[in-house]
Amino acid sequence: MILMKSITKLSVSSLFAYAVIFASQANAAANNATSGWGYQNAPQNVETDIESAIMNITNYILGFIAIIATLVVIYGGVLYLTAAGNDDQVGTAKKTIAAGVIGMVIAGLAYALVIVVSTVIL
C-alpha cells in the first residue's frame, strides 16, 4: 500500500514535470516567433496541423499510461516474490499483475483507436 502511494506521488510529480517542460517550450517558441525587426518567423519543430498535434498528445499520454502499467506489473512481481507462500499475498500479487497487463492492453487498444479515427476522420 505504501508503494502504491509513492507510485501515485511519483506519477503526479512526473505529470507536473511534463507540464512545466511543455509550458517552457511553448514560451520559448512564442518568444522566437518574432525577430528583432518585427517580422514573423516560422517557429521551428512546431506542428501546425491538428492531426500531428493530436498524435503528439496521444503519444505522451499513452506513453505515461504504459509506464504506470509497467510499474504496476513490477510491483505485482515484487509482491509475488515476497509472498513466501502466503496465499492471500499471492492472490493479491496475481490480481495486481493482471491489472497491469489489462492496463497495457487498454493503452494499446486506445492507441490503435486513435490511429484509426485520425486516419478515417482526418
Q: Which pTM value belongs to this model?
A: 0.56
Q: Is the pLDDT of residue 49 over 80?
A: no
**Mean pLDDT computed over 68-89:** 91
- Determine what percent of the chain is predicted with pLDDT higher than 70: 60
Higher pLDDT: 5 or 23? It is: 5
User: Is pLDDT at 33 greater than 70 in this prediction?
Assistant: no
Angle, CA 85 vertex, CA 84 and CA 91 arms, to 5°: 105
> Residue 35: its pLDDT value, please?
46
The Cα–Cα gap between 66 and 18 comes to 15
Other beta carbons within 10 Å of 78: 13
Cα–Cα–Cα angle for 22, 43, 29, rounded to 5 degrees: 35
Assign 40 a pLDDT band (cuts: 50, 70, 90). Answer: low
